[in-house]
Amino acid sequence: MNKQVLAKWNRIYQSDTLDSVATEVLVDNLYLLPSSGLALDLASGLGANALLLAQQGLTVQAWDISDIALCKLQQQAEANALLIKTCVHDITENSFMPVSFDVIVVSRFLDRSISNAIMESLKPKGLLFYQTYTQYKVSESGPNNPRFLLAENELLDLFSALKVVYYRENAGLGLRQQGLRNEAQLIAQKA
* Mean pLDDT on 139-154: 84
Encode pLDDT of 38-65 as tens digits: 999 999 999 999 999 999 999 999 999 9
Domain containing 108 equals: 3-189
Number of domains composing the chain = 1
- Would the CA dihedral through 46, 47, 48, 49 be positive or negative? positive
* Mean pLDDT on 124-134: 97
With bands split at pLDDT 50, 70 and 90, how would you rate the model's confidence at 89? confident
Mean pLDDT, the chain, integer:
91
The residue with greater pLDDT, 25 or 90, is: 25
Beta strands in the chain (DSSP E): 38-42, 59-64, 84-88, 101-107, 122-133, 163-168, 183-189
* Mean pLDDT on 106-114: 96
CATH code at position 168: 3.40.50.150
